[in-house]
Chain A
Amino acid sequence: MASGSEGGFWLPPQGSTAAGGVDGLFDFIYWLNVFFFVLITGAVVYFVMKYKRKSDDQLATSQVGHNTLMEATWTFVPLILVIVIFAWGFRTYLNLTVAPEGAYQVKVTGQKWSWNFTHPDGTVNTGELHVPANRPVKLLLSSRDVIHSFFVPDFRIKQDAVPGRYTTAWFQAKAAGEHQVFCTEYCGKDHSAMLAKVLVLSEEEFDAGKWKVSKPPEGMSVADWGGDLYNKVGCKACHSVDGSKLVGPSFKGLFGREEKIQGQDPVMVDENYLRESIMDPQAKIVEGFAPAMPSYKGQLDDAKIDAIIEYIKTLK
């Protein structure tokens, strides 16, 4: 009742090979919970009804204060049960966390407030993790700023991404499809918007590699795609499009204006300046702002940068 590969009342669908094992354990604990809850609450309700005080001077009919056999039973039976659960839980945990040899490895980098995925051949994607079905995938997680946590409910996996070290997780997706990713370690303002998708492709489709080429999704113009990236990649957190000042300057009316630079001559905002600002933000710091912008080198390819530039151009 609690679970099933399609998901149920309590749990989401099982998207990975390990999910079934977790759910089996979940179900076991669940039914044990139900059993003990009914037992305890049942006893309370029964006693309260049966021994309800009917007159003011009614006394208790028993004053038993001790029963060794009973007390031993309810110490040792739960003890044995929890030891079983403990051992089962540890085994499930190892299945869930120790990746098999030869898994396809992806580097996952968290940063306020987006996820980046670096594949073995250097392909980098933001917000979308493409993986093949039926092949183990190992994630090497890390963070550029604060602690984040990578959570895929359908796979029953979660692992913190910690700055300054690597942690690992793995899964093997059962079939082609889409799975939601959440950040589950509180990381500030847009913590709840730090989402991503795992896109599971069939092995042929994955190996064909079409997914690597960045191009706007079907039916979307380049500038609209730029707007979409602005949201997903995380520019939104520091740059507004309505003229208001956040951590960084607003994009509104930016293109074509003259910008004052700290310690340098003013520059005219054109495509090259925008490109440089994104790839090497420390090269020219806009007056009145802190050098707080991270570089997007290696994270955004040419197609994406062009799209963002096109988008900025539309913000008159």
Chain B
Amino acid sequence: MNATTTQAAVDHADAPYEVDYLNCKKGIRHWLITVDHKRIGVMYLWSVIASFLLGGVLALLIRAELWGPGETIMGPDTYNRVFTLHGLAMVFLFIIPGIPAAFGNFVLPLMLGAKDVAFPRLNLASFYVYVVGSVMALWAIIAGGVDTGWTFYTPYSTGVSGSVMMMTLAAFVLGFSSIFTGLNFIVTVHKMRAPGMTWDRLPLAVWAFYATAIIQVMATPVLGITLLLLAMERALGVGIFDPQLGGDPVLFQHFFWFYSHPAVYVMILPGMGVMSELITTFARKTIFGYRAIALSSIAIAVISFLVWGHHMFVSGQSAYAGMIFSFLTFLVAIPSAIKVLNWVATLYGGSISLETPMLYAIWFLILFTIGGLTGIFLGTMGTDVHLHDTYFVVAHFHYVMMGGTVMAFFGALHYWWPKMFGRMYNEKLAKIAAWLVFIGFNITFFTQFVLGSRGMPRRYYDYLPEFETLHKISTSGTWFLGVAVLMMIGYLFSSLKKGEKAPANPWGARSLEWSIQSPPIEHNFHEIPTVVEGPYEYPKAGAKA
């Protein structure tokens, strides 16, 4: 064991192994009715990984079709359905629930020193609601052939035969699952903290989960209202969005983005929370600017509700509305920038080890920085007019969502894997995969910035010959990503059987989840711990520990 493990972990290092949460009640029946936050987290983990793989395969198909102009492997109707399903699966089934529902569920109570979340049954309900919502969504898309893109813009979406109502309903049901998880997290953070776990001793991941939960609880009802209005229009013929009935199609975009822009932060904030844990652990450093990071999460949660109109600069919305949205968009960028700079500053003077989770944290820093900086072009009205709805936007949000959230997801997966399953994976293979991800990602998406600024529109099945070379480069990058993900599946699954047994605290981290055995026992802690210091109090060289 290394010198910096927490006192608690050292105590446990020699403690005899006790039956863990995976082994205590075996059999599928016990899993299906479990109220243990760890098991629910694990079930969520498998579900979101399945959704990610589905979305990923579709992404490979999209890029394969774009290998050359005209038809390559599928016709336009199929293509339109494939990119719609890719977007919906990635957004609603993977990224939104991903980090909070899988890792949040698992680690949040552990980090607080609690035996479970505040409402364990509601937690299980949220999982089942997620499953029902996912099935509804997949059914709507596949049976109804939804080809509207994940944004469902009216009147296109109300005019096509596909089951858009069903899909919106599914999104709403999925939203309820998020609300359940969110509500649970809020109450758990308020009520279940161990003695001594004051607000300024909360791990920053907890702050991020908390801020995310607030957004989820506040934003999802808007989706419900939109659904109700769509239903009224369809069933009762009240003109709301459909111009033929005297409605206003642009109104739909306001509703959609009023929900979906905050949802963008639901997607990224948990990833930011993970980042604070990874950077401090692998640099053995106290976080730089704890307060700034914690409060910026809350600032983001609030301001993110006021910027939706930046998706609509060319929709015909008034120039002055656009002006205000543009201004607020720049304001919401500042807290994200502060976070990045704080993480960089945290590296200063650290003892940095580049194990796999840390590699992903570095990728996050680099890629998210590109994603954030290129966002300036889009928040600026004069340049957004040219770039809006081109591949530039596609590249930008993939740098933020994949370069940010997905890197954090991979980081979290490799970081907490030993805690969740009690096994270490093959570090060498994991590092190779991480490098492949980085290289493949940049080949795929950096080219898309160039495509977009040169005028290539998004959601195009076919394109002009002048764009062919760049499309070919972009497509070839996805093969690296495909190989990397296959490798990941391989070494992670084989670790479950063959992996070395994980110690309680393989990385020498200091938050509470590392003070207990890997995998934890069913009730997490025999005795609720008493917390006497913050989560990042690493010793300094030369000082007396």
Contact = CB atoms under 8 A, between A and B. Distances in A.
Contacts of B284: 53, 59-60
A96 B376 CA distance: 18
Interface string B342-380: 101101111111100000001001100110011011011
A206 to B, nearest CB: 25
Contacts of B458: 184, 186
B120 interface: no
Given A85-B330, A158-B388, A160-B315, A58 B541 contact: yes
Interface in A191-228: 191-193
B457 A70 contact: no
Nearest to B376: A29
Given A96-B382, A182-B457, A89 B326 contact: yes
Nearest to B315: A160
B268 to A, nearest CB: 17
Contacts of A61: 349, 351, 540-542
A47 B540 contact: no
A209 to B, nearest CB: 30
A57 B342 CA distance: 25
Contacts of B536: 65
Contacts of B460: 191-192
B438 interface: no
Contact of A65 (B289, B376, B462): B289
A53 B354 CA distance: 8
Contact of A93 (B250, B381, B540, B542): B381
A89 B243 CA distance: 32
A23 to B, nearest CB: 9
A118 interface: no
Nearest to B374: A33
Interface in B42-82: 76-77, 80
Nearest to B253: A147
Interface in B211-266: 243-244, 248-250
A90 B337 contact: no
Nearest to A54: B351
B327 interface: yes
B386 A156 contact: yes
A293 interface: no
B382 A71 contact: no
Given A59-B3, A189-B76, A64 B461 contact: no
B286 A63 contact: yes
A48 B352 contact: yes
B539 interface: yes
B386 to A, nearest CB: 4
Interface residues on A, range: 35 or more
Nearest to B341: A74
Given A51-B351, A71-B292, A149 B389 contact: yes
Contacts of B341: 40, 74
Contacts of A86: 326-327, 330, 379-380
A48 B343 CA distance: 12
Given A44-B365, A53-B351, A92-B381, A71 B289 contact: yes
A158 B386 contact: yes
Interface in B442-476: 450, 453-455, 457-464
B4 interface: yes
A255 B429 CA distance: 67
Contacts of A36: 369, 373
B354 A193 contact: no
B538 interface: yes
A191 B459 contact: yes
Contacts of A85: 330, 376, 380
Given A60-B351, A145-B159, A66 B288 contact: yes
A149 B250 CA distance: 13
Contacts of A48: 347, 352, 354, 362
B383 A26 contact: yes
Contact of B316 (A89, A154, A159): A159
A190 B384 CA distance: 25
Contacts of A153: 386, 454-455
A184 B376 contact: no
Nearest to A43: B344
Contacts of A82: 330, 333-334, 376
A181 to B, nearest CB: 10
Query: Which residue among A60, A67, A154 has the maximum number of chain B CB atoms within 10 Å of its CB?
Result: A60
Given A187-B156, A189-B76, A163 B243 contact: yes
A152 to B, nearest CB: 9
Contacts of A96: 382, 385
B457 to A, nearest CB: 4
A79 interface: yes
Nearest to A2: B453
Contacts of B153: 146-147, 185-186
B2 A57 contact: yes
B86 to A, nearest CB: 14
Contact of B453 (A10, A93, A163): A10
A22 B388 CA distance: 14
A157 interface: yes
Contacts of A71: 289, 292, 338, 342
Interface of B: 2-4, 76-77, 80, 147-149, 153, 155-156, 159-160, 243-244, 248-250, 283-292, 313-316, 319, 322-323, 326-327, 330, 333-334, 337-338, 340-342, 344-345, 347-354, 362, 365-366, 369-370, 373-374, 376-377, 379-386, 388-390, 450, 453-455, 457-464, 536, 538-542
21 contacts: A10-B450, A48-B354, A60-B285, A63-B539, A65-B290, A70-B345, A75-B338, A82-B333, A86-B327, A89-B384, A92-B381, A93-B319, A96-B382, A97-B385, A153-B455, A154-B455, A159-B314, A162-B315, A165-B248, A182-B455, A192-B457
Given A21-B382, A41-B365, A74-B341, 17 more contacts: A25-B383, A33-B376, A36-B369, A58-B351, A65-B536, A71-B292, A89-B381, A93-B313, A93-B322, A158-B389, A160-B315, A163-B243, A163-B244, A165-B243, A182-B457, A188-B160, A192-B457
